[in-house]
């Protein structure tokens, strides 16, 4: 019997293994595995030199991409592209994440025709960057001012933390809710500039960078973190299907959106990792733009197999209405990974300052570490000095409290998988 056929059976089966193997391995790690620095070149930017080293048949598309990115970058004033994030462990409070404010995507349909919504749409238009995208620090209760001009890498446009995608959805809803004249034309034109930005940002292999135009560093990597890529695909698929708020999109653009969806799906399949035995497993948080190999991101995010990002990718693939044989195989392969990495009967205490952070609790929801070491399957943790740890409690106070090192949300793949299998059986 396949243990995936019953999540409860899978949990019981792995619980015995966990008691005998996983807990001792955590204790052994504390005794034998010292923190280690990142190996060199854990992420590489897209460069002309790297493009020139690609197979000859791949170079023309990548050169064209590079040229368009450089032209968009030239639309901006000079900016500092260096990464100035902290590089030393800290005992201070966690550094908060940044999100734009003021967009409503779950309001009643009638609200998008209100003057309140239209004022927000006016502000969205004015916050749009010259490149066509949006930043992740927008305040849509007002227009941008001089204090909002940071002239850094994040100022050029990004998909991070739902940026650009949510602005495009909002503009489409307000424009489709009615209205004409100059204001409505500004909303529509802003939407089309943004859609062109999305089209131009897509890599020849179907992936998308975190920031566009390209600024280097880990920002050039294909980004699965925070659902960046799947949110882009969702938008393009809705445009392709001409769903209600996107009925105004010209047919050629809608058709192009569909082609972009297919390329992005192929990127997901190609990027799926392989275990030591050669079988496919899951995905990293970010993957190199040119090779699609897993890469590091922020200073505390090492190369790894990532549980939460992979769970959301699998759920996304299971939501596709007519999965191809390749997509079905990718899902089945990934679903073998989750029960093998689950931690049973434990809760996580992020205040633990020297141990594993795991506390026994009967009946607790299964946990997964955020990052697993590729090849060994062991949980790993990172700090701001680019060190990799096997013991959670070794991390600085700021990183222990400021990151979700263990999560329960990957457990949602099991009921979703059961429903997907039932739905798939009805399609045969």
What amino acid positions are annotated as catalytic residues?
Answer: 161, 298
Per-residue CA distances from 235 to 172, 203, 254, 331 (Å): 11, 17, 11, 22
Cα angle 53, 57, 62 (rounded to 5 degrees) comes to: 65
Neighbours of 141 (CB within 10 A): 10
User: Do 355 and 341 touch, CB atoms closer than 8 A?
Assistant: no
* Three-state SS at 105: coil
Phi first, then psi: what are they for 274, rounded to 5°? -120, 140
Query: What backbone torsions phi and psi does residue 21 show, to the nearest 5 degrees?
Result: -115, -50
Which H, E and C letters describe 315-354, residue by residue?
HHHHCCCCCCHHHHHHHHHHHCHHHHHCECCEEECCCCCC
Strand partners, 274: 280
What is the b/e burial string over 255-287, where b = at least 16 CB atoms within 10 angstroms of the residue's CB? ebbeebbebbbebbeebbbebeeeebbbbbbbb
The answer to whether the CB of 411 falls within 8 A of the CB of 365 is: yes
3-state helix, strand, coil in the chain (%, to 5): 50, 10, 40
Bridge partners (DSSP) listed for residue 343: 367
């Amino acid at each position: 019997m396949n243990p995936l056929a019953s999540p409860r059976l899978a949990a019981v089966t792995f619980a015995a293994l966990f008691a005998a193997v996983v807990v001792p391995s955590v204790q052994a790690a504390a005794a034998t595995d010292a923190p280690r620095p990142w190996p060199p070149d854990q992420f590489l930017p897209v460069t002309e030199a790297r493009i020139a080293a690609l197979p000859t048949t791949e170079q023309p598309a990548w050169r064209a991409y590079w040229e368009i990115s450089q032209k968009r970058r030239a639309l901006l004033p000079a900016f500092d592209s260096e990464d100035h994030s902290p590089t030393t462990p800290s005992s201070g409070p966690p550094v908060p994440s940044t999100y734009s404010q003021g967009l409503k995507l779950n309001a009643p349909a009638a609200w998008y025709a209100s003057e309140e919504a239209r004022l927000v749409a006016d502000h969205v238009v004015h916050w749009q960057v010259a490149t066509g995208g949006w930043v992740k620090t927008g305040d849509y209760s007002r227009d941008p001012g001089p204090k909002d001009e940071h002239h850094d890498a994040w100022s050029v446009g990004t998909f991070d933390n739902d940026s650009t995608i949510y602005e495009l959805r909002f503009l489409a809803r307000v424009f489709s809710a009615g209205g004409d004249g100059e204001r409505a034309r500004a909303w529509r034109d802003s939407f089309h500039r943004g859609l062109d930005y999305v089209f131009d940002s897509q890599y020849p292999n179907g992936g998308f960078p975190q920031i566009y135009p390209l600024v280097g560093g880990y920002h050039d990597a294909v980004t699965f973190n925070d659902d960046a890529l799947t949110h882009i695909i969702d938008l393009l698929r809705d445009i392709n299907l001409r769903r209600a708020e996107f009925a105004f999109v010209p047919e050629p653009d809608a058709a192009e959106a569909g082609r972009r969806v297919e390329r992005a799906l192929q990127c997901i399949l190609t990027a799926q990792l392989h275990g030591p035995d050669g079988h496919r497993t899951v995905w990293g948080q970010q993957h190199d733009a040119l090779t699609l190999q897993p890469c590091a991101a922020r200073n505390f995010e090492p190369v790894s197999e990532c549980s939460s990002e992979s769970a959301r990718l699998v759920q996304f693939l299971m939501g596709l209405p007519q999965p191809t044989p390749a997509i079905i195989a990718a899902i089945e392969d990934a679903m073998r990974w989750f029960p093998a990495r689950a931690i049973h009967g434990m809760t996580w205490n992020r205040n633990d300052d020297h141990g594993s952070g795991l506390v026994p609790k009967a009946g607790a929801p299964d946990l997964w570490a955020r990052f697993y070491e590729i090849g060994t399957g062991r949980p790993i943790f990172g700090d701001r000095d680019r060190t990799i740890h096997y013991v959670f409690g070794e991390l600085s106070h700021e990183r222990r409290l400021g990151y979700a090192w263990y999560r329960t949300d990957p457990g949602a793949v099991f009921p979703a998988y059961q429903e997907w299998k039932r739905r798939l059986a009805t399609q045969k």
